Amino acid sequence: MRHFLSLMLHGSGIDTEEFAEGRTMCLALARQLPDVVFLNISLESAEAIECVIALGKYGFTGPVQLMSGRGAAVLEHVKNIGLQHRLQMLPVLNKPFETEAILRIIDELHIGTVTSAISDVSLEQALANGWVEFWYQPKIGLRKKQLAGAESYARIRHPEHGIILPGGFLPNANEAALVQLSERALDSALRAERTFADLGLKLPITVNIPMAVLRKLPIEQIVRTQYGADDAWAGLVIDIPEPQVMADLPAAIELAEMLATFNVRVAIDDFGNGISTMARLKSMPFAELKLDQVHVTNCGTDKIKAPLCKTVIDLAHNFGSTAVGVGIEKAADAMALVSMGCDYGQGFLLGQPMAEERFVSLLRQRAANQGAKLPDPRPAEKRRA
């Protein structure tokens, strides 16, 4: 639960500190007061009460979010103690809860990165003004539960409207702008890989590029400019949506084979409808099959989705490729994918997209916890939870 919340908050631009027990949290309050507290009420409510009293003692003025699966009487008792100590007690969050509940709390508290629903900012305008940046989402090896890569996502950081997601600027973008965006995405990914390598991590980065745009890009030249003839780099993965691959499968195969000669692999994104076509092939040069989120969601409980996921995973392995489950938001789905033999996973449960600086900051923290020697860290974020 703590790890899940941390990932959610990190993706929203909020630093976190986790405590496995109330005593260590109380000791930390003497060192620094946070902006927000998420407090889980376990079977014994005494520990939660101790934390609430300590927050009042140290003059904490921020909101307190209680979380529990306990009965209403216990929750109300802890909440009332908090109110007695003049704490700002939020409505109790009952478990189990969905990721949307955490995002809603973050939004209502006006903390973290502000995203905008505005859709009248064009990609062309954003590129011309230097508003485009690239965020990275962790890609996790499900068997070893280790960081295995990252996927790049474009964002617009508008000076007035905040962060604009792709749905607000990609649908109406022309092909010239998409080509320019893809070139920048590749360049950013290659530079990010160097940064990760400096931290001792060999992480391949995935970039999403439409097939029509991919044909227009001088990818080999872009790669050689950054890495020359160096074969030691982690390589790139390029996601192409399944419908575009299936529309001209021979051309997609030819393109994948060509890109593989300089360590750029192709993955089929949102896979799930082309199983019958793929199953007839004798070979397939695609590095990954990424299960469509529609099939992943509730695959741990849905008797129809589970066998479909297993079929895609087995198909990937039969071709010597890997299987990636995307959009994982529930622990039951993650566990089901592991049992099916799925290789990698992505989703809010494992970490949402975050700005490169924050992603690097977390990697530095991870390496520091493992005793690695690191360069001087970047400036820490001010906001903590």
| DSSP annotation string for 148-203 | EEEEEEEEEEETTTEEE-GGGTSTT--HHHHHHHHHHHHHHHHHHHHHHHHTT---
**What is the Cα 54 distance to its own chain's centre?**
34
Residue spans of beta strands (DSSP E) within the chain: 37-40, 63-68, 88-89, 93-94, 115-116, 132-141, 146-158, 162-164, 205-208, 236-241, 264-271, 288-291, 322-325, 344-345, 354-355
What's at 156, amino acid-wise? I
pLDDT of residue 29: 92
Same domain, 17 and 141: no
**Which residue reads 């792709």 in tokens?**
166
pLDDT of residue 11: 74
Residue-wise over 257-271: b if at least 16 C-beta within 10 A, else e? eebeeebbbbbbbbb
Same domain, 72 and 205: no
Q: SS3 of 111, please?
A: coil
Same domain, 252 and 277: yes
Q: Choose among 285, 278, 348: nearest CA to 313.
A: 278
Same domain, 191 and 92: no
Same domain, 186 and 275: yes
pLDDT of residue 224: 87
**Which residue reads 């305008």 in tokens?**
125
Look at residue 320 and tell me if it is in a domain. yes
Same domain, 187 and 77: no
| Parallel, antiparallel or unpaired: strands 354-355 and 132-141 | antiparallel
Same domain, 336 and 359: yes
Cβ atoms within 10 Å, residue 30: 10
Q: Choose among 152, 157, 52: nearest CA to 114.
A: 157
Same domain, 241 and 164: yes
Q: Give the C-alpha separation, 65 to 79, whole Å.
A: 10
Same domain, 96 and 149: no
Q: Is the peptide bond before 63 cis (omega within 30 degrees of 0)?
A: no
What's at 51, amino acid-wise? C
pLDDT of residue 66: 92
Q: Choose among 128, 114, 118: nearest CA to 162.
A: 114
Number of domains the chain is built from: 2
Q: Choose among 177, 182, 174, 176: nearest CA to 206.
A: 182
Look at residue 220 and tell me if it is in a domain. yes
Local confidence pLDDT in tens for the 385 residues of the chain? 787 788 778 777 788 888 988 889 999 998 999 999 999 987 678 889 999 999 999 999 999 999 888 777 888 899 999 999 999 999 988 887 777 788 889 888 888 776 666 667 899 999 999 999 999 999 999 988 899 999 999 999 998 888 898 988 999 899 999 999 999 999 999 999 999 998 888 999 999 999 999 999 999 999 988 887 666 789 999 999 999 999 999 999 999 999 999 899 999 999 988 887 888 777 889 999 999 899 999 999 999 999 999 999 999 999 999 999 999 988 899 999 999 999 999 998 888 899 999 899 888 877 666 644 433 333 334 344 4
Can you give the CATH number for the domain in which 22 is found?
3.40.50.2300
Question: In the numeric block, which tokens belong to residue 372?
Answer: 């690695």
Q: Give the C-alpha separation, 264 to 258, whole Å.
A: 9
Range of the domain at 305: 120-369
Can you give the CATH number for the domain in which 166 is found?
3.20.20.450
Look at residue 262 and tell me if it is in a domain. yes
Q: Give the C-alpha separation, 323 to 320, whole Å.
A: 10
Q: Give the C-alpha separation, 355 to 249, whole Å.
A: 34
